[in-house]
A and B are shown apart, each in its own frame.
Chain A
Amino acid sequence: MALLKTSKRARRRPPEERRRRRPERPPQSMVAGPAAASGAKPPIVELKEATVVYPGGHVALERVSLAIGRGEFAFVVGPTGCGKSTLIKLLIRELEPAGGKVMIAGRDINRMKDSRVPMLRRRIGTVFQDFKLLQNRTVYDNVAYALQVIGASRAQIRRQVPDAIRLVGLQAKIHNYPDQLSGGEQQRVSIARAFVNHPPLLLADEPTGNLDPVTSIGIMQLLYRINRTGTTVLVVTHDRDMVDKMRRRVIALEEGRLVRDHAESGYTHESTTEFAVRVRAEMGVGDEGQTNGESH
């Protein structure tokens, strides 16, 4: 219902205002501006003593407490099986904690009605290691699908999909099928799909897990660009090496427990290009990977 209202409002908006609207537009409810992190608003993600126990008794997360502010770019690292993916599942309410609380934008998501869960997921973009693209649809249709299935109007789809594809730099391959794309390009499509509805929070589960280092930097740069639009980005990865070069907040998990939460300051205002150049230099890879659609 709320969705119908939104699309009607969009239709009524005068065209010049519509054109002015950029993908960077901060989304309504969980507004994330550059200064929002320091504001009085609750953190966008907050875990309070969250414990997850899988059937069979395996404890995947044990009393994990953390808070991620609006507009942050944070990493969750740890070896395989440390509970990183469980964390993502917890945040989109695919799993419910055995104990503790999971708050998104100040709301306990395990106390909301089942019928509201789709609305929660509309405000959270998700990116996975295996891309989860639909092989029988083109790049455009894959991205459009995310809007179609939440009942968006055709006008909204025609407006937002090309924007998202341009953001990830795939406008030249808009009519290609996923199997005609490289791994990095497929991950870009999946990021475009996750971001097409401008969610205030983007979760990425091993987004570079299947990619070589050069391509990985491109993907990280893209995620950083999205972060610069005000979206909170949380990346889960086991690639500790890469994360160390990012100079961002790192949350380390081990055997389901939070063992380190370290934020490095001084790098949060670099541009996406500065970011890419610095990371490439620190990783010791050349410039040959700069085919990521960066327009400046």
Chain B
Amino acid sequence: MGRITFFVAEAFRALGRSAAPSVAAIVTVAVTTLLLGVLIPVLRASESTTQEVRSQISLDVWLYDDATKRNIRDLRAEIEAIPGVAGTEFVSKREGKQIVIERLDDPGAFAELNRNPLPNKFTVELSSPDNLTSVSAALQPPDESGEPQPIRPIIESVREAREEATEITQVTGAVTIVLVVIAVLLLVASLLLIANTIRLSIYARRREVEVMRLVGATNWFVRWPFVIEGVLVGIIGAGIAVAILWLGKVTIVDPLADNFALIHNFSTVGFPFLVGMLVAAAVLVSALGSGITLRRFLRV
């Protein structure tokens, strides 16, 4: 117990003495934690949006008009036997026409055509968007020349919503990458600033360190006050960030969430969990920062 009191007292003494670098490190940790606190829910939200978009991806199997009901029934059984297919929905020519009329909100959309140009089709639901390629290949395996051939002659074509899907995935992927890069850069900045604070602290206390070594303090006894100093910086910085996040949540996000379902959906991470994660990250980063400096500058 006496030792722990000694370590903590030494750490606070050091923080008070080298106030300027300590404040710089605390502010950086606070800013980093704050940004992480905003980034993490946003990342989670964008991830869940991507998931939603991807789950809507399906395959359309267009059929020739001369397919008999028996052909269609057989094909349906065949498609549903393909692994990765969650289900099929048959959309007849007439149903397709209804959908188009509803979508265009124009009952006369087909009036000038003397026939219905839409085909009968199957909409194939996938159990996972990742199965898109394999299911598509199963529906139209390539022949000897490498050209895809439909498994049944009644299939006119197999159409994928793939291009749009890839685009959406790419955009959200890029956003995620940018945000993660920013977060990583900020983490590195905090790490270095904490390392710098500890380095200055070692310099300011070189006489103490020298005396400790001379009278036979063990290596860890010399190091602990510095590690605790770094962790204190982390905890104080994280504390400030959490306070600001909480204020932001209470004054901005919560009132908006009552009015907009969208924002409400965005709060995908529980606040206590988020706080716990941020504090843990701040402490980890600061302990690492101290550790790196101690290894480099405190040969004991």
Interface residues of A (CB under 8 A from B): 92, 115, 117-123, 126, 132, 134, 145-146, 148-151, 153-154, 193-194, 197
In the complex, which residue of chain A has the Cβ closest to the Cβ of B9? Answer: A148
Contacts of A132 in B (CB 8 A): 207, 210-211, 214
Q: Total A-B residue pairs with C-beta atoms closer than 8 Å?
A: 53
In the complex, which residue of chain A has the Cβ closest to the Cβ of B225? Answer: A149
Contacts of A119 in B (CB 8 A): 216
A193–B210 CB distance below 8 A: no
B216–A122 CB distance below 8 A: yes
B219–A118 CB distance below 8 A: yes
Please name the 8 residue pairs, one residue from A and one from B, whose CB atoms are nearest each other, closest first: A122-B216, A121-B216, A149-B217, A146-B215, A118-B216, A149-B212, A118-B218, A126-B214
Nearest Cβ on chain A to B119's Cβ, whole angstroms: 81
Nearest Cβ on chain B to A15's Cβ, whole angstroms: 20
A115–B215 CB distance below 8 A: no
A145–B211 CB distance below 8 A: yes
Evaluate whether A120 and B216 lie within 8 angstroms (CB atoms) in the complex, with A132-B207, A132-B210 already known: yes
Contacts of B246 in A (CB 8 A): none
Nearest Cβ on chain B to A120's Cβ, whole angstroms: 7
Contacts of B2 in A (CB 8 A): 153-154
Evaluate whether A149 and B210 lie within 8 angstroms (CB atoms) in the complex, with A120-B216, A122-B216, A193-B215 already known: no
Of residues 206 to 239 in B, which have CB atoms within 8 Å of A's CB atoms?
207-208, 210-219, 221-222
B207–A121 CB distance below 8 A: no
B207–A151 CB distance below 8 A: no
B110 interface hit (Cβ, 8 Å): no
Distance of A132 Cα from B215 Cα, bound (Å): 12
B219–A146 CB distance below 8 A: no
Among A92, A117, A149, A194, residue most surrounded by chain B Cβ atoms (within 10 Å): A149
B3 interface hit (Cβ, 8 Å): yes
A149–B207 CB distance below 8 A: no
Contacts of A117 in B (CB 8 A): 216
Contacts of A115 in B (CB 8 A): 218-219
Q: Pick from B3, B208, B210: contact of A151, CB below 8 A.
A: B3
B6 interface hit (Cβ, 8 Å): yes
Main secondary structure of the interface of A (DSSP, over half): helix
A134–B211 CB distance below 8 A: yes
In the complex, which residue of chain B has the Cβ closest to the Cβ of A196? Answer: B215
Evaluate whether A151 and B221 lie within 8 angstroms (CB atoms) in the complex, with A118-B216, A119-B216, A120-B216 already known: yes
Contacts of A151 in B (CB 8 A): 3, 218, 221
Among B213, B216, B217, B221, residue most surrounded by chain A Cβ atoms (within 10 Å): B216
Contacts of A148 in B (CB 8 A): 6
Contacts of A134 in B (CB 8 A): 207-208, 211
In the complex, which residue of chain A has the Cβ closest to the Cβ of B1? Answer: A154
Among B6, B211, B215, B218, residue most surrounded by chain A Cβ atoms (within 10 Å): B215
Contacts of B219 in A (CB 8 A): 115, 118
B3–A121 CB distance below 8 A: no
B214–A92 CB distance below 8 A: yes
Distance of A154 Cα from B218 Cα, bound (Å): 18
Contacts of B207 in A (CB 8 A): 132, 134
A122–B211 CB distance below 8 A: no
Extra inter-chain contacts (8) besides given A121-B213, A146-B215, A151-B3, CB under 8 Å: A115-B218, A115-B219, A118-B217, A118-B218, A123-B216, A145-B208, A149-B211, A153-B2
A150–B215 CB distance below 8 A: yes
Contacts of A154 in B (CB 8 A): 2
A150–B6 CB distance below 8 A: no
Can you offer 22 A-B residue contacts whose CB atoms are under 8 A?
Answer: A92-B214, A115-B218, A118-B213, A119-B216, A123-B216, A126-B215, A132-B210, A132-B211, A146-B211, A146-B215, A149-B211, A149-B215, A149-B222, A150-B215, A150-B216, A150-B217, A150-B218, A151-B3, A151-B218, A153-B2, A154-B2, A197-B215
Distance of A117 Cα from B217 Cα, bound (Å): 9
Nearest Cβ on chain B to A88's Cβ, whole angstroms: 11
Contacts of B208 in A (CB 8 A): 134, 145
Nearest Cβ on chain A to B155's Cβ, whole angstroms: 76
Distance of A92 Cα from B213 Cα, bound (Å): 10
Distance of A121 Cα from B214 Cα, bound (Å): 6
Contacts of A150 in B (CB 8 A): 215-218, 221
Contacts of A126 in B (CB 8 A): 214-215
Contacts of A146 in B (CB 8 A): 211, 215
Contacts of B3 in A (CB 8 A): 151
In the complex, which residue of chain B has the Cβ closest to the Cβ of A3? Answer: B218
